Amino acid sequence: MEKKAVSTTPDNPAAIQTVELLQRRWLTKNAFEIELTRPPSLEFKAGQTIRFIHESMERYYSLLSTPDDPTLALCVYYVPGGSFSPVLSDAEIGARFSVTGPHGYFTFNPSERAPVFVATGTGIAPFVSMGRSGVTDFILLHEVELAEDLYYQDIFRKIASNYVPCLLEPSSDDPLPPGTFHGNAAGFIKKNLPPASYDFYLCGEREMTREVTLLADEHFRGSYVFKEVFF
């Protein structure tokens, strides 16, 4: 892939910069967190992404970090045999990667409407950044397969007005987290969210974003919807 020489400044998100892998922490067998050095000129807002460039591959990841953190942190879903996540899972500490950023407009904008954050899997990442940056008093729905996939729930139980784990496959062998809803996030919204106008922030799989957007249009008139969709 041809790379053009560009100026490395905060105003140029296309500038290619180098980061170094500092550490890696497995959250579950299918997800891990990595910490990277932060280029001095990389400034971002909570909720934005960075783009990795590795050989012929490019991938965008939402930042877990706050804009004031000295390092960058990401939550990565591991896909066995995948084209990119194994690169990050197997890289040695000290490995260097090319990145650009920040990218995207999925940032929190306060309004008179109550915020509802909805995530699937590692789509929780931008909400971690927002929460760590001082956003509070939101409803958060985290849709996952199993209770072990509820990354960062300790953070949200402290700052969310309502934190709802939405489990698609609850296990009878493990105790369920408090407030668990058996089903997807759209199901909870349809059954339990009081009628009102909300700001819906959706990050994750296309099916979730489609279902919640339709619900917002049909049942929560006057609501706004902001999306970050996984492809």
Which of these, 182, 74, 181, lies nearest to 123 by C-alpha position?
Answer: 74
Residues counted in the chain: 231
Please give the Cα distance from 188 to 190 (Å, whole number): 5
Instruction: Give the pLDDT of residue 7.
Output: 33
206-219 helix and 185-192 helix, angle to the nearest 10 degrees:
10
Is the Cβ–Cβ distance between 106 and 48 less than 8 Å?
Answer: yes
The tokens for 60 are: 């965008």
Please give the Cα distance from 139 to 194 (Å, whole number): 12
Instruction: Give the pLDDT of residue 174.
Output: 67
β 17-28/96-103 pair status: antiparallel
Q: Under 8 Å CB-to-CB from 217, ≥6 apart: which residues?
A: none
- Place 120 in a pLDDT band, splitting at 50, 70 and 90: very high
pTM equals 0.91
Instruction: Give the pLDDT of residue 172.
Output: 62
**Is domain 17-103 annotated with CATH 3.40.50.1100?**
no
Q: What is the DSSP string of 70-109?
A: SEEEEEEE--TT-SSHHHHHHPPTT-EEEEEEEE------
145 HSE (CA, 13 A, CB side): 5
The tokens for 174 are: 């493990």
Which residues of the chain form CATH 2.40.30.10? 17-103
Distance of CA 82 to the CA centre of its chain: 19
| pLDDT tens digits, 64-79 | 999 999 999 999 999 9
- Place 230 in a pLDDT band, splitting at 50, 70 and 90: confident
The tokens for 65 are: 């970090």
| pLDDT tens digits, 129-178 | 999 999 999 999 999 999 999 999 999 999 999 999 999 976 666 678 88
Please give the Cα distance from 149 to 30 (Å, whole number): 9
| pLDDT tens digits, 7-41 | 334 457 778 999 999 999 999 999 999 999 999 99
The tokens for 147 are: 């209770």
Instruction: Give the pLDDT of residue 175.
Output: 77
Which residues of the chain form CATH 3.40.50.80? 114-230
Please give the Cα distance from 159 to 168 (Å, whole number): 24
Is the Cβ–Cβ distance between 28 and 149 less than 8 Å?
Answer: yes
Question: φ, ψ for residue 87 (rounded to 5)?
Answer: -65, -45
Is the Cβ–Cβ distance between 21 and 91 less than 8 Å?
Answer: yes
What is the second-level CATH architecture of the domain 114-230? 3-Layer(aba) Sandwich (3.40)
